[in-house]
Structure formats: C-alpha cells, structure tokens
A = this chain, B = another copy of it.
Amino acid sequence: MSAASPFDFSPLLPAGLPAPAARWTGLAKYSFVGGNNDPDQVPVDGLIEAVNAVLRREGKALATYGLASGPQGYRPLREFLTAKLKRDAGITCGADDIMIVSGSLQALDLVNQTLLARGDTVLVEQETYQGALTRLTRLGVNAVGIPLDDQGMRMDALAATLADHKRRGITPKYIYTIPTVQNPTGSILSQTRRAEMLKLSREYGVPIFEDDCYADLIWKGERPPAIYAMSQHGGVIHIGSFSKSIAPALRVGFIVAPWEMMSRMLALKTDAGSGALEQMVLAEYCAPHFASHVPKLTRGLRAKLDTLMEALNEQFGTAAEFEAPEGGIFLWVKLPDNVDTLKLYQAALAAGVSINPGPEWSTDKAYAGSRLRLCFASPSHEQIREGVAVLAEVCRKEFGVPERIANVEKRASS
C-alpha cells in the first residue's frame, strides 16, 4: 500500500448493508414524489410570531436536553396534541400517553424495534407506504399484504389471513394500517370496518399499528374516530405527524401508546430528545392557529388535485384510471397493463419528471406494475399541467399509450 493510496473501508463493511447512496443531483423539474407540501401554504408569518414569543419566554431552556420536559417531549406540544386528538380523532389521552418523535419515520422505527425480530410476520395493506415496506425488508420481516377496495383494507381478507396464519402457528406482530387517507390509495376506512378490525385484533392477539399521518388533510373536514379511540382493550399504537399539516422539513411526529409499549419505546429512543426548537414553535403556533390553518391548507390541496385530475384526463384520456381521494396529497393512478411504471420512472426522470412507481408501494409487485403515485401538493398548478404533459409524452414514446388520437378526440369532445 503506497503512502498516497486512500484508506479502503470495504473490507470492514458488514454483510447486508443497503447499496451506497448516489450523489444528490437536485429535485426533478416536475416533482410528483415525496411528502412535500405547498410552499405558499407554509404559515411563515405565524411561525415567526410563534418562535419570537416562545424563544423570548423560554429560550434559556434550550440549554437543557429535553427542555426539562423529559424524554417524551416538550410538554406544551403534548398538551396541544391531547386537545387536538380529542377534538379530531376522538382520542382520550393525557400528555403522558404521548411521545414526541423526530417525524413519524422515527415512530415507525421505534415501534418496529420494540416488536419485531428477523423472520417475524406483519400484516399491511397491500398497497402501503414505501417507507414502511423498505424498513420491514431491511429488518428481514415478512410483510403480508391485505387487499384493499375503495373503502380501504378488506376485513374479509384480514379475517382469512389471520385465520390462515393461526392455523400455521404464526402470530403476526401487528396489523399496520393507514386508515384515514390511505397511502397511496386515498380511501378512509369506515367506522364499521374499524370496529371489525379491532374485533379481529382482540380475537387473534395481534395489535393494530395505526398510522394517521395524513388524517388532517380531509376535504370534508370530518373523519371517523381513530381506531385507538374506539379500542376497549388498548391494543393499538397510534402515530401522527405535523409534516403534512404544517411543514415536512420540521421533523416532528408523535406516538400515542399504552405505557407498556411507551416504556419500551422510551428505552429505545436514545437520541437525547427530538429537536426542541421545532417542538416549541409548533406548540406555540398550533395552539391558537392549527384549527383555522388546516381547512385553508386543504382547500388549496383540493384545488391542486383537481388540476392534476384534469391534466391526466386531458393528457392520458381513458388510459389513466383513478378515483379521487378523500384527502391527502397524492393520487394513485392505473395505466394500461403494458406500462411498466418502474421503467416509466426512469424514462420520466430523464425528461425531468419524478413519479413514484407502483411496485415500490405494494406487496404485490405484479398488481402494482402499471400503477403509480403522483403527489400534487408541492408543484404549482402550472407545473402540474406541464409535468403531466411531459409524462404522457414519455409514456407514449415508451409504451405507445396514451394514443395520440384518443387524446385529441377527448379534447375535442370536452
């Protein structure tokens, strides 16, 4: 080894590491991926007002890890959540039932670390959050998909899967569900199905892991009670986030859980607390403004969804099938069977359009192969229209759909 040769780390790397990251090259010109929100809807003035007030009053507390609120997070934020969860989700809990975390992704990690070991099985919605699926894969956990319909997870399928696993001597570690604005399909699970899920959970001794991180963004502003709220037996872990309602770059989420789980997760949260300034500014802003901010935000998102659906109808015609979601920031789209959205993803990216290919959001790669997720909160109305036009052009070139003629016909008839 010469003096100039660089140190080689490769012999030291353990087996099973994910592939190294590529260097970041910026966001796509037309970005339809990620949970990014509408820049014009960040309540900048309100956040400035809040941060001034809270730092002037409590800034010195930043000298202490956890702000002397302890490891569960800034107490005023937990108190805001107590009131908000009661009002919106019907959850009755105290500040001590809540742990603030660094985004709901840390919540996923803590729940997984507390319950899962390599070789375990969990039940998930067949189409579900990519970040949950990749985590399970890395942990060596078997994620069994339960089919959805337009009402969310199918309870007949859940019952059959639980019975089947019981016959095989397998107790799944949890049922992971995004019941309120399902990701990526956008449905809201009815109260009846929630009750059925709870009954099955109790019957089979399998807890429910309820991810409610999109639940604030519902067009009509009302939602069924959280599964956590409906439970008579406590076997539910509930998580949520401020990423969708206020701003994703603030990394603040939360977990509501029985103390038996909370005490285990606290022992695993060895990060010396989540960012205090972000917790402080959220508490200060949200207590007076959250309830009025969210409806304004959702009206804007709903308008962008309309633009996206119009653009898809215009550019793809009948080749793009979708159902309008009941809230959220994404649309789940079916293209003709011959379209491979993993390939479309690559070709579109080269043309400046980023999309989420369906197979990354499903346990059934074949079913999802011609599907994709389009996030509409971040791009402007103009970018949505232009981006969908570019995507249609790329798709036509790669897969022959949408046919140009169909499009023109549709335009002429509209």
Point out residues on A near B: beta carbons under 8 Å: 1, 3-15, 17-24, 26-27, 34-42, 44, 47-48, 51-52, 55-56, 59-68, 70-72, 96, 102-103, 105-106, 114-117, 120, 131, 134-135, 171, 173-174, 201-202, 205, 207, 231-236, 247-252, 258-261, 263-264, 266-268, 270-278, 281, 377-378
The closest CB in chain B to the CB of A71 belongs to B24
B residues less than 8 Å from A1 (CB atoms): 202
B residues less than 8 Å from A41 (CB atoms): 63
Contact A63 to B36, CB < 8 A, known contacts A102-B271, A115-B13, A251-B273: yes
B residues less than 8 Å from A231 (CB atoms): 7
Contact A271 to B251, CB < 8 A, known contacts A3-B233, A21-B71: yes
Query: Are B71 and A59 interface neighbours, CB within 8 A?
Result: no
Give bound CA distance, A26 to B40, whole Å: 41
CB distance from A261 to the nearest CB of B (A): 6
B residues less than 8 Å from A35 (CB atoms): 65, 272
Number of copies of this protein chain within its complex: 2
Query: Are B233 and A12 interface neighbours, CB within 8 A?
Result: no
Query: Are B260 and A10 interface neighbours, CB within 8 A?
Result: yes
CB distance from A410 to the nearest CB of B (A): 33
Query: Are A272 and B103 interface neighbours, CB within 8 A?
Result: yes
Q: Is the interface of A mostly helix, strand, loop or mixed?
A: loop
**Most-contacted residue by chain B among A64, A72, A117 (CB, 10 A):** A64
Give bound CA distance, A117 to B323, whole Å: 46
B residues less than 8 Å from A114 (CB atoms): 13, 17
Query: Are B258 and A9 interface neighbours, CB within 8 A?
Result: yes
Give bound CA distance, A250 to B51, whole Å: 14
B residues less than 8 Å from A13 (CB atoms): 114-115, 264
B residues less than 8 Å from A131 (CB atoms): 270, 272
Give bound CA distance, A24 to B273, whole Å: 13
Query: Are A39 and B61 interface neighbours, CB within 8 A?
Result: yes
B residues less than 8 Å from A42 (CB atoms): 59-60, 62-63
Query: Are B62 and A234 interface neighbours, CB within 8 A?
Result: no
